[in-house]
Structure 1
Amino acid sequence: MKAVIQRVTEASVTINGVVKSEIKQGLLVLLGVTHDDTKEDIEWLTNKIVGLRIFSDNDGAMNLSVGDVDGDILVISQFTLYASTKKGNRPSFLEAARPDKAIPMYEEFVSTLSRKRNKPTYTGEFGADMKVQLLNDGPVTIVIDTKNKR
């Protein structure tokens, strides 16, 4: 799994002109799933995300997690994180998991985040044409790949 995590002061996702989800302070997570991802990857990545200390404390140091600031999380499926641009100029998405694998993994990821935080996790809609808006705070953007745990 790959995740692009952005600290935001607000974010929303719109589908067919209708806002499906919106958050204020928190994290926008773009999530990509590949063929060999497992439930262990979900556990590891969700632990990383809820524990990331990327919010400022009273001294201005990044020392607080999303839970410490009572922030929300918006997760958007993003198969394009597995784009390969090695040949030519048209990206290949062969490393992205097909929907029959990716959808259950995405849903399990969202439900695991909600369970670990005892708070709803907001989402887009898998496979939909989504318009994502965000106000990146900092900017702070972190990229995590479960294949690079060490």
Structure 2
Amino acid sequence: QPGCFLCDAFQSEADREHLIIKRSAACAIIMNRYPYNNGHLMVASYRHVDSVEGLRPEEQADMMALAATACARLREVVHAQGFNLGINQGVPAGAGLKDHIHLHIVPRWEGDTNFMPVLADVKVIPQPLMELWEQLQRAFR
């Protein structure tokens, strides 16, 4: 779909530029350019679909398989101790990109909440995005 950053990324071969970590049969893992935490990833179908119920069974299966792989690799690379996984389907649910369904994977650590987002609307990300992209690329090989 024109104007969809996920569709643009998936149609391109410039994985580094678009922060794509892994491509699979029906879905791909892409880094969130505006992460909540270090290592915040998204799994999205190649097909432009706006809801979970619109996904084909093979897309649903691929999305969950990639999510499991992503969690395993994030444990290795950023030493995540837990994860928040979620889909914001529709604007009322908080979807920033309402027309292309995607699954968020947010790594978590014991005691990882901090005051910066509350006080200054600022997030502290302890690692440059492209440095982490390089590490995750190696881990997914």
TM-score normalized by structure 2? Answer: 0.32
Of Structure 1 and Structure 2, the greater helix share is in: 2
Which structure has the higher relative contact order (CA within 8 Å, separation 6+)?
1
Of Structure 1 and Structure 2, the greater strand share is in: 1
TM-score normalized by structure 1? Answer: 0.31
